[in-house]
């Protein structure tokens, strides 16, 4: 690609901040002072544009750091915007820890503050000392509640709200600095057969169709009772979310690998709507629901064969949490754990060097803890890859598709190579057969009527073009030239797709999902590669979200929900089913645990 991503430039700038010790600086007011007193500004590139800061100093101290302007995603970047300035002031250094899951925003703030301090005459070499943080008190923290939940992502928070609605007091522990997990950075599509929205769009659908596609789409390896529970409860759970204040857009769409137009898109960007909805409820009921971040579960406490609590660590302190009714594991999958992926992978080429869409905390901890106390793990070999990873980060951000019907994939020669409406594993397998396992997504004005139209990750197409993450042209020939593919091949690929749109039915690849032709400038292209996305295997549960042992028996007091579980999606998860899964089974787990005797 001919342009560097902005965030790569930002990371290089960060290195320069710490490396350019010998550069000339504005002289301080006297030889003993560190800064020239005043307020200074700086800026650096974040995920979605410039992050601007304002830094106030006296002669020897950083007094205040404020992020005054940014376009980062709410919820995802909040911890970085709050904690990085606070830490810089508290420890008087630029060598502060970045916030896990928001490292690009964190680094942008650090670079911008360094720029401002240079204007204040600082020698940045004096601001590189790693802070000495206070050690733990060595005391054991002990707490008690009806329900202890491991994991503060979508499933864990759904369980917390549901448990409280059913009369329970709850403690949620989250090992990361903030709640959200994979949910908050997801594309947010939620599958449900919806008679209201789909009816208005003239889309025929049913719970039975959703069930059949989920069952068959996973090669009939999912447990029918769990799939039935998922599909029958998807729409009622969506209505439950709406009752909590969450908003979804009026039109449903077909998400990548979803196989049918039943995906609901929240009004809020990414998965922030889910987390914000749950946290609003939790904040309103904080006397009964406690959320402990930076708290890592290490062991499930068992007494007489029943789960009665959780051992954890927080700031090197031991934490003992006793549960009156039950423990819910909602700790997510293992997509970010390379060793675990390689241990269980049976289908794909080596996953060692394949990036992931997952947040850094998705390391399979809950599965490991559950197996140690006798829980059965099921389908661990079923690891889902997407063909939609960012070539640099592996994330889904930067993806220019808006829905399945209006885009095609072409390889480095400009040729289509797969049915773009197929299952995720089918599309990814086909991508592995292409040169450099690399493809371009091609769309036109139908997907982006204006330059400020946003993709599914809250990024405008103009921003992506400016950052070099997408390419724009008034003709297919020019677009082909920009992305380095054969112009005639690209034109032929688009022409054949457009003919299929006209005639309907299916095309040479068996594709049946069509809407608009790709025939209206401007045309856009975005690069994509394979990325690890979802781990379908995990803790075996029943329809009540109760954990089962290796003999199929219920482990008393132990429940699980979300990507930490297995047996629902079989060998391949339909796109849009994950958000339904975590909310449906999170809600069920909370209710089941709260009603336990």
Q: Which residues are catalytic?
A: 424
Peptide bond into 522 cis (omega under 30): yes
Compute the distance between CA of residue 364 and CA of residue 367 in angstroms, rounded to an integer. 5
**Cβ atoms 104, 47 nearer than 8 A:** yes
Compute the distance between CA of residue 541 and CA of residue 560 in angstroms, rounded to an integer. 7
Task: Sort 286 into a burial class: Cβ within 10 Å, 0-12 / 13-18 / 19+.
Answer: exposed
Q: Is the dihedral of CA 270, 272, 275, 281 positive or negative?
A: negative
Q: Is the dihedral of CA 340, 343, 348, 351 positive or negative?
A: positive
Tokens of 67: 């992020």
Task: Give the DSSP H or E segment for 147.
Answer: strand 141-150
Rg (CA), the chain: 25
Print burial letters for 328-354: b (CB count within 10 Å at least 16), e (below 16): bbbbbbbbbbbebbeebbeebeebeeb
Question: Scanning the structure block, which residue is given the tokens 């609003």?
Answer: 280
Compute the distance between CA of residue 175 and CA of residue 294 in angstroms, rounded to an integer. 5
Alpha-carbon distances of 563 from 180, 236, 351, 578, rounded to whole Å: 13, 20, 19, 8
SS3 at position 14: helix
Pairing of strands 289-292, 546-548: unpaired
**Cβ atoms 562, 581 nearer than 8 A:** yes
What's 220's DSSP letter?
A: T
- Residue 290 phi/psi, 5-degree rounding, is -110, 135
Print burial letters for 433-458: b (CB count within 10 Å at least 16), e (below 16): ebeebebbbbbbbbbbeeeeebbbbb
The Cβ of residue 371 has, within 10 Å, a number of other Cβ atoms equal to: 15
**Cβ atoms 518, 530 nearer than 8 A:** no
220: alpha, beta or left, given left = phi > 0 and alpha = psi -120 to 50? left
Question: Scanning the structure block, which residue is given the tokens 């919820």?
Answer: 75
Tokens of 183: 């949910």
The Cβ of residue 220 has, within 10 Å, a number of other Cβ atoms equal to: 11
């Amino acid at each position: 690609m001919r342009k560097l991503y902005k965030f790569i430039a930002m990371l290089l700038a960060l290195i320069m901040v710490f490396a350019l010790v010998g550069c000339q600086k504005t002289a301080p007011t006297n030889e003993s002072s560190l800064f020239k007193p005043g307020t200074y500004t700086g800026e650096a590139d974040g995920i979605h544009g410039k992050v601007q800061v304002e830094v106030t100093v006296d002669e020897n101290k950083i007094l205040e750091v404020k992020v005054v302007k940014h376009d980062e995603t709410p919820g995802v970047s909040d911890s970085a915007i709050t904690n990085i300035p606070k830490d810089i002031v508290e420890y008087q250094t630029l060598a502060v820890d970045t916030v896990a899951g928001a490292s690009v925003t964190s680094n942008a703030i650090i670079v911008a503050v360094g720029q401002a301090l240079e204007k204040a005459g600082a020698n940045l070499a004096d601001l590189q000392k790693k802070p000495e943080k206070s050690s733990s008190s060595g005391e054991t923290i002990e707490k008690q509640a009806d329900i202890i939940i491991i994991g503060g992502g979508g499933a864990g928070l759904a369980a917390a709200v549901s448990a409280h609605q059913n009369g329970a007091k709850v403690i949620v522990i989250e090992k990361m600095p903030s709640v959200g997990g994979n949910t908050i950075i997801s594309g947010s599509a939620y599958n449900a057969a919806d008679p209201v929205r789909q009816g208005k769009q003239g889309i025929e659908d049913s719970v039975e169709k959703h069930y059949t596609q989920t069952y068959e789409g996973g090669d009939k390896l999912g447990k029918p009772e769990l799939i039935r529970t998922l599909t029958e409860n998807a729409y009622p759970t969506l209505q439950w979310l709406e009752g909590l204040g969450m908003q979804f857009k009026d039109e449903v769409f077909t998400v990548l690998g979803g196989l049918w137009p039943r995906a609901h898109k929240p009004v809020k960007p990414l998965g922030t709507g889910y987390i914000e909805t749950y946290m609003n409820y939790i904040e309103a009921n904080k006397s009964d629901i406690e959320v402990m971040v930076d708290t890592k579960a290490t062991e499930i406490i068992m007494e007489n064969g029943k789960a009665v609590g959780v051992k954890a660590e927080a700031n090197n302190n031991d934490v003992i949490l006793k549960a009156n009714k039950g423990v819910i594991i909602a700790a997510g999958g293992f997509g970010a754990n390379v060793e675990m992926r390689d241990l269980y992978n049976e289908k794909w080429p080596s996953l060692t060097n394949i990036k992931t869409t997952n947040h850094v905390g998705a390391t399979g901890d809950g599965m490991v803890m559950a197996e140690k106390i006798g829980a059965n793990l099921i389908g661990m070999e079923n690891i889902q890859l997407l063909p939609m990873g960012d070539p640099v980060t592996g994330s889904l951000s930067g993806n220019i598709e808006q829905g399945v019907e209006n885009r095609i994939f072409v390889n480095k020669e400009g040729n289509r190579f797969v049915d773009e409406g197929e299952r995720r594993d089918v599309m990814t397998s086909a991508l592995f057969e292409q040169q450099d396992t690399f493809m371009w997504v091609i769309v036109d004005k139908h997907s982006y009527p204006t330059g400020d139209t946003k993709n599914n990750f809250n990024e405008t197409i103009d921003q992506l073009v400016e950052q070099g993450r997408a390419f724009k042209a008034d003709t297919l020939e020019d677009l082909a030239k920009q992305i380095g593919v054969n112009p005639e091949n690209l034109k032929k690929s688009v022409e054949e797709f457009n003919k299929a749109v006209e005639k309907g039915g299916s095309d040479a690849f068996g594709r049946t999902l069509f809407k608009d032709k790709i025939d209206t400038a401007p045309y856009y292209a975005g690069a994509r590669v394979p990325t690890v996305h979802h781990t379908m295997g995990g803790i075996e549960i029943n329809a009540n979200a109760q954990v089962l042992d290796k003999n199929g028996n219920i482990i008393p007091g132990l429940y699980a929900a979300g990507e930490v579980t297995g047996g629902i999606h079989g060998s391949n998860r339909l796109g849009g089913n994950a958000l339904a899964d975590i909310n449906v089974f999170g809600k069920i787990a909370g209710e089941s645990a709260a009603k336990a005797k």
